[in-house]
Amino acid sequence: MLTQALAHRSWCAENPGQPSNERLEFLGDAVLGLVVTDHLFRAYPHLPEGELAKVRASLVSSAALAEVAAELDIGDALLLGKGEDGSGGREKPSILADAMEAIIGACYLEGGWRLAETLVMDLLGDRIGSAAAGPGGQDYKTRLQELCSQRFDQLPSYTISERGPDHAKEFDATVRVAGHLKGRGQGRSKKQAEQAAAKVAWAELLSTPSPPDASAEAEPRGDAAGEDRVPVESAGAPGAGG
C-alpha cells in the first residue's frame, strides 16, 4: 500500500498495470480535512466558523503538506517517470503534497481512523498553534511557503548557522527562493531565525510581482552592515515557532 502511495502517474505510465497514488490521494485529502477539522472544533471553542475555516485551509494547503513531505525526505522515495524525475519532480510542492495525502490515505486503509489521526497530528501538531493564533499570525514561513508554491512551484530553502556559547547561542538564517537569496534573519533559536528570514523574503517577493531573473542573486535590500536583518525581538513574535 505504501508503494502505491508513492507511485506518481508518470511512473505508472512507464510501468503498465501499476496503480498510481491518485485514488489514495483523494481518500487522504478527505481524511486529513476531517482530522484537522475535528481537532480544531474541539481544541478551539472560541474561534468562530470563519476563522476555523481559515486555520484549516492553512494547515491542509499544498504548501504546508509539501513542507512536511520535504522534512520527511518523501521526495527521495517517490516513484517517478524518467521525464518527471529529470525535471525536478522530487522537489515540486504539488507532487510532494499529493504524495503526503496518499500516505495518509494508505494509513487510514491499513490502520483505520485512530492510526490516521495519530499520523496527521504528529505531522501537523506543531503548526496548529501558530495557525490558530490569528489569521496569518506572525507565521511568515507559512506565508512564504504559500507564495513560493503559487509563484514558482518550489519550496523556499533555509540555511542555518550558529554562534556563541552553548548557554547563549544565537542563530543566523538565510532563505533562498527559486535559487536566489531573498532574506536573512537572526534569532535565539533556529525557528526564530528562519521566521525572521522568511519575513524579509516574503516582503521582498510581494514587492516584486514577476519571478526573479538572474540579477536577483544580489543580496536582499539592506547593506552589509545588516540592514536586511530583522531584530531578535521581531523574530520572537507570536507564531515564530512554525
- Per-residue pLDDT tens digits for 46-60: 888 988 898 898 889
| Residue 225 confidence (pLDDT) above 80 | no
Element containing residue 240 per DSSP (H, E): none
| Residue 152 confidence (pLDDT) above 70 | yes
Say how far apart CA 223 and CA 29 lie, in whole Å: 45
| Residue 77 confidence (pLDDT) above 90 | yes
CATH architecture, domain defined by 140-235: 2-Layer Sandwich (3.30)
Range from 34-43, 135-144, 181-190 that averages highest in pLDDT: 34-43
Domain boundaries for CATH 1.10.1520.10 within the chain: 2-132
Q: What is the mean pLDDT of residues 47-74?
A: 88
Q: CA 111: distance to chain centroid?
A: 26
Catalytic residue among 29, 117, 146, 204: 29
Superfamily designation of domain 2-132? Ribonuclease III domain (1.10.1520.10)
| Residue 10 confidence (pLDDT) above 50 | yes
DSSP at 213: -
| Residue 72 confidence (pLDDT) above 80 | yes
pLDDT of amino acid 172: 94
Kindly state the percentage of the chain with pLDDT values over 90. Answer: 46
pLDDT of amino acid 165: 83
**Residue 5 or 210, more confident:** 5
Domain boundaries for CATH 3.30.160.20 within the chain: 140-235
pLDDT of amino acid 209: 63
Say how far apart CA 94 and CA 63 lie, in whole Å: 8
C-alpha cell at 6: 508513492
Residue 228 among the catalytic residues: no
Nearest CA to 39 out of 96, 119, 143, 107 is that of 119
| Residue 24 confidence (pLDDT) above 50 | yes
Question: Which pLDDT band holds residue 211 (cuts at 50, 70, 90)?
Answer: low
What DSSP string describes 1-24? Answer: -HHHHTB-HHHHHHSTT---SHHH
Q: Which residues pair with 163 in a beta bridge?
A: 170
Q: What is the mean pLDDT of residues 151-175?
A: 88
Mean pLDDT, all residues of the chain: 82
Is residue 123 within 8 Å of 34, Cβ to Cβ?
no
pLDDT of amino acid 82: 94
What CA–CA distances, in Å, run from 171 to 1, 130, 133, 142? Answer: 41, 21, 24, 20
- Per-residue pLDDT tens digits for 88-104: 999 899 999 999 999 99
Question: Which pLDDT band holds residue 133 (cuts at 50, 70, 90)?
Answer: low
pLDDT of amino acid 145: 82
What DSSP string describes 35-58? Answer: HHHHHHHHH-TTS-HHHHHHHHHH
Residue 38 among the catalytic residues: no
What DSSP string describes 154-206? Answer: S--EEEEEEES-GGG-EEEEEEEETTEEEEEEEESSHHHHHHHHHHHHHHHHH
DSSP at 211: P
Question: Which pLDDT band holds residue 138 (cuts at 50, 70, 90)?
Answer: low
Element containing residue 34 per DSSP (H, E): helix 22-43
Sign for the CA dihedral angle at 21, 27, 33, 37 comes to negative
Mention every residue, 6+ apart, whose C-beta is less than 8 A from residue 186: 170, 171, 172, 173, 192, 193, 196, 229, 230, 231, 232, 235
Catalytic residue among 98, 101, 146, 228: 101
pLDDT of amino acid 114: 94
| Residue 232 confidence (pLDDT) above 60 | no
